[in-house]
Amino acid sequence: MGLPYTEIRAVIDTLTKSIKKSKDLELSTAAINLQTIISQLMSENDNLKHENKRLKDQLADARQDHFDRSNLVKYKGIWVADEQTRKKIQLEDCEISDDLLTKMYCPKCLVDKDKLVSLNDFENSDGFYVECPVCRYDSLIIEYI
């Protein structure tokens, strides 16, 4: 819920006009100072809102990362998001979908850089491989017979 900025501005404008009509110099100066302070508060409030959103996003990412790590399981030398994903991978017989690849992580980057890096795929005559886009680690996941 945001502050009603336009309403606040309208009230201040009305107030300022009345004060100017009264031709009271002290009141006019006070009104101008008040306008300046309110503008600064509004701008500060905007900055805080943006900062708050950024921190919330960051926290959500960190939670997601933690969630992913706590459920990780190994499959053919690589890390997989969870048991359910591993079962789906085991059922594939010639290739792995992009959806599943995003839940498969490089074991080397997890150890070396503490990062969950999703794997890419490539195929050759041996079979279907996954490859890390960062460190180029690869692993044969489905062997073609």
Residue ranges in contact with Zn ion by CB under 5 A:
106, 108-109, 132, 134-135, 137
Rounded Cα distance, 144 and 93, in Å: 9
Q: Report in angstroms how near the CB of residue 108 gets to Zn ion at its nearest.
A: 5
Of residues 30, 48, 33, 38, the one with CA closest to residue 11: 38
- Nearer of residues 31 and 141 to Zn ion, judged by Cβ: 141
CB atoms within 10 A of CB 106: 27
DSSP state of 118: B
Name which of 5, 38, 43 is nearest 30 in CA terms.
38
Closest distance of CB 109 from Zn ion, Å: 3
Tokens at 137, concatenated: 């680690």
Task: Please say which residue, 100 or 109, places its beta carbon nearer to Zn ion.
Answer: 109
Smallest separation, CB 82 to Zn ion (Å): 20
16/22 Cα distance (integer angstroms): 10
- Minimum CB–partner distance for residue 137 and Zn ion (Å): 5
Q: Given the complex with Zn ion, which of 31 and 104 has the nearer CB atom?
A: 104
Measured from the CB atom, the residue of 31 and 121 that comes closer to Zn ion is 121
Look up residue 49 and give its amino acid: K
